[in-house]
Structure 1
Amino acid sequence: MSEKPTKVRYLVLFVVCLVYLITYLDRVAISVAAPLMMKDFGINKLEWGLVLSVFSWTYASFQIPVGLLGDKLGARKVLAGIVCLWSLMTVATAMAWNFMSLVVIRLLFGIGEAGAFPTATRAFAHWMPSTERGFAQGFTHGAARFGGAITPLIVAVIMNAWGWHSVFYIFAAIGLAWAGFWYFWYRDKPSEYKERWGGINQAEMDLIDGGKSSKKAAPKLPFKALLKSKNMWFLSLSFPTYCYTVWIFMTWLPAFLVEAKGFSVIKMGIFASIPLFAGVVGDTLGGWLSDRIWKKTGNGKFARRVVPMAGMLVAAAFLIPGALTDNAYMAVFYLACSLFGLEMAVGVYWAVCLDVGHEYAGTVSGMMNTIGNIGSALSPLVFGAILQFTGSWVYPFLVASTILVIGALLWLKVDPTLSIAEELNLEKLENEQKVVM
């Protein structure tokens, strides 16, 4: 009988899920603590908006640089380092003394968190077989969304017991503990893990490898060359439409339920979590379903395209009745269906970065996430401007729905079976550069 593969890759997946959850604990905590922090620092709403917004810009700006660093140094060193950086900035948040100190701390916090997802994607390039990458990405992003959904409850309990400063000390300690464990335990390749710890058999290593070990070293990927990839541009231009819409749920959903649907603040806290938990389910299901279709059909293009396209179109369709209905509870139901569909796409986005990136997965995912976070940064501002100009909650949702349809259609031009190295003919490019030198 042939040897059954061990399951060490799933242990790696679980540990990465923990850091995804930690990213959202640390990211969302400051929003929940906002009322007490604004009062203590004497910060007005305009200044507080700046404190929150500077995170998005450094977070977007450092996706590609840290992705490149992850490709060069490996996920073990880089992920441990950046988690330490943002955890120290989480401690610093509790020690801030005025408005400007908070701005600087949030800028540095954004730099740290910028590298988390691209570098983790790099880890999966070495640890997950191609037919499990969608599941892995969906599961990790589901963990991130779960972290965001439970943060308000955790922060409220800690603040009530020990004050808002304690929130950041406790969350920072969790991050630093994870970073220490990751650096001590994780290895960048299964072969290195076997040499250090054992516990992984050849069957699992062969399953993960999929014939890659017989290939020669990958040529370098110049960033200018990456910008010539049509495949990456279609993927990267679709991703902001997802980011734009998901950040509406993260930023405007509470106000919508209170002001447009008449929920009390306490009731809003309960019902606002329902779409977020629906998103967790969609996150996990979407990547798994895409992998399943690929296994059953052998058609990578169809498997990677159909799930995000269908999910985004479902999301676009349910946004409209969610805004139009007069029934507050039906609005929550429609929006939960919308976020469920929307989040089915996210795992596939990141899986395609692995599919086409291979050795360049950190760089490729960094490019996608950088462009995507332009949508995240613009979303709350554009939504608020439309709301202010029209006085209606319907039009901002209509705009988001239209944007999602465009993003879904862009998937028709994404080819997950065409690697970056093949599309850009990197081997030929490297040989030409050697001749010139």
Structure 2
Amino acid sequence: MIEKPTRIRHWVLFVVCLVYLITYLDRVAISVAAPLMMKDFDINKLEWGLVLSVFSWTYASFQIPIGMLSDKIGARKVLAGIVVFWSAMTAATAMAWNFISLVVIRLLFGVGEAGAFPTATRAFSHWMPSTERGFAQGFTHGAARFGGAVTPVIVAAIMAQWGWQSVFYIFSILGLVWAGVWYYWYRDKPNEFKERWGTINQAEIDLINGGKSAKKAVPKLPFKTLLKSKNMWFLSLSYPTYCYTIWIFMTWMPAYLVEARGFSIIKMGIFASLPLLAGTIGDTLGGWLSDKLWRKTGRGKFSRRVVAMTGMLVAAAFMIPAALTQSAYLAVFFLACSLFGLEMAVGVYWAVSLDVGHEYAGTVSGMMNTVGNIGSALSPLVFGAVLQFTGSWVYPFLVASSILVVGALLWLKVDPELSVVDELGLNRDEGEVKTTVS
């Protein structure tokens, strides 16, 4: 009788989803608390803009270093450590006393959150078989997007009862509890988990490893050598086009609905969440569909490309009628369709960073996210500049639509079945060295 695989990997996925949700609770909370915090600290809009933007500086800068650290010492220690650190900074936000202190705290908060996604991706490298990586990455990013959608409601309720400071104290406790559970329960490899807890069977370990030896030696990959990977570069250069567009929804959507579409503040709060909820569905569907196609066809290149490219082109297409329609409600509907398509791609991006990274998934995903955050940083500025120059809300969306088409075309150069180890000939070089020594 064939032994049925256990499902410990799905529990790993669930626990990682929780930390993705926590990242967005902690990240978005300050935007919701903005009116009260600006009043208490006597901060003007320009100063508040700096408070919000400095997070991106350190968030982008520390992606690669923390990703490399997780590749070196494992996701268990690194992820627990950075969650404790950023949870401490979340609590410190409630203790800030002026503008400068807020800037410093947000800089440090960005350092902590920078490692979340690369390190979680590194965790999946030993726990998710290739045919489940798209679903895993889509589901986790869906949890993050859901966290962003529900944060305003949660924060508003807490502030109404106990004040804005209590928001950051409560959210910091959530992070600390998660970090404790993760460090106690999680193990970097299924075999280590089996030795510690004994609840995973060999059938699941074999499924995860795909029939490959789990004890295979890992060749060294210097960062300078990694930079020669064309596969990684095409993936990384496509990702900013996704990041550019998603940050339009994260930053300009409320103002667009109020100023361009005439929604009241209350209606804006309701309708601004609809595209994010549609994106949550797209996250999970895109990853699941990519995995299903891979299992059905056995063609990883086709399965990853077709879902990512289709999603981005759908997003680009729906942005145009969203910008041009005279109906405010149709605009929201088209934007929801656009974000649904866009989010179909994100799980595939992160799945491919696993596909090509393997033992270096933390570094590769850190590189992709670092380059991607260039798009995130430029998005609010370019959108605003185009809006200011043209005086029309239509043209900024047309620019984003065009950028997405470029990002989709770059996928034609991405090969999910070509690992950086094979592309750079690291296994070959290792074999030559061994032959020479013997």
TM tier relative to shorter chain: over 0.9
Matched with 2:190 is 190
Secondary structure class of the residue paired with 2:213: helix
State the shift of 1:429 in Å.
4.8
Within the alignment, does 1:50 sit opposite 2:50 as a pair?
yes
TM-score, normalised with respect to structure 2: 0.98
Matched with 1:333 is 333
Of the structure 1 ranges 158-167 and 205-214, higher mean CA displacement relative to structure 2 is found in: 205-214
Alignment of 1:300-379 (within 5 A): 300-379=300-379
Change in 2 beyond 3 A, CA 1:214/1:340? closer
Within the alignment, does 1:137 sit opposite 2:137 as a pair?
yes
Within the alignment, does 1:416 sit opposite 2:416 as a pair?
yes
Letter paired with 1:359 = E
Separation in 2, partners of 1:210, 1:216:
13
TM-score, normalised with respect to structure 1: 0.98
Matched with 1:274 is 274
Question: Deviations for 1:297-325, whole angstroms, at most 9, x for unmatched residues?
Answer: 11111000000100000000001111111
Matched with 1:243 is 243
Letter paired with 1:115 = G
Change in 2 beyond 3 A, CA 1:183/1:214? closer
Percentage identity across paired residues of the two chains: 83
Separation in 2, partners of 1:230, 1:2:
42
Letter paired with 1:409 = L
| Runs of at least 5 residues in structure 2 that lack an aligned partner in the other structure | none
Change in 2 beyond 3 A, CA 1:215/1:194? closer
Separation in 2, partners of 1:130, 1:161:
46
Alignment of 1:182-261 (within 5 A): 182-213=182-213, 216-261=216-261
Separation in 2, partners of 1:141, 1:405:
22
Task: Figure out how many residues of one structure are paired with residues of the other and give that number.
Answer: 436
Change in 2 beyond 3 A, CA 1:98/1:430? farther
Within the alignment, does 1:15 sit opposite 2:37 as a pair?
no
Matched with 2:101 is 101
Separation in 2, partners of 1:161, 1:59:
32
Letter paired with 1:336 = A
Question: Deviations for 1:374-408, whole angstroms, at most 9, x for unmatched residues?
Answer: 10111011101111111100010000000000000
Letter paired with 1:16 = V
Separation in 2, partners of 1:310, 1:319:
14
Separation in 1, partners of 2:164, 2:225:
47
Letter paired with 1:356 = V
Letter paired with 1:90 = T
CA-based RMSD: 1.3
State the shift of 1:164 in Å.
0.2
State the shift of 1:198 in Å.
1.3
Matched with 1:34 is 34
Letter paired with 1:88 = A
State the shift of 1:212 in Å.
2.9
Matched with 1:77 is 77
Alignment of 1:156-175 (within 5 A): 156-175=156-175
Separation in 1, partners of 2:236, 2:76:
26
| Runs of at least 5 residues in structure 1 that lack an aligned partner in the other structure | none
State the shift of 1:215 in Å.
5.8
Separation in 2, partners of 1:163, 1:433:
64
Tell me which stretches of 4 or more aligned residues in structure 1 moved more than 4 Å.
428-436
Separation in 2, partners of 1:63, 1:295:
31
Separation in 2, partners of 1:59, 1:430:
35
Letter paired with 2:36 = L
Matched with 1:299 is 299
State the shift of 1:370 in Å.
0.3
Change in 2 beyond 3 A, CA 1:433/1:84? farther
Letter paired with 1:292 = K
Change in 2 beyond 3 A, CA 1:391/1:72? same
State the shift of 1:165 in Å.
0.2
Question: Deviations for 1:96-119, whole angstroms, at most 9, x for unmatched residues?
Answer: 011111111001000100000000
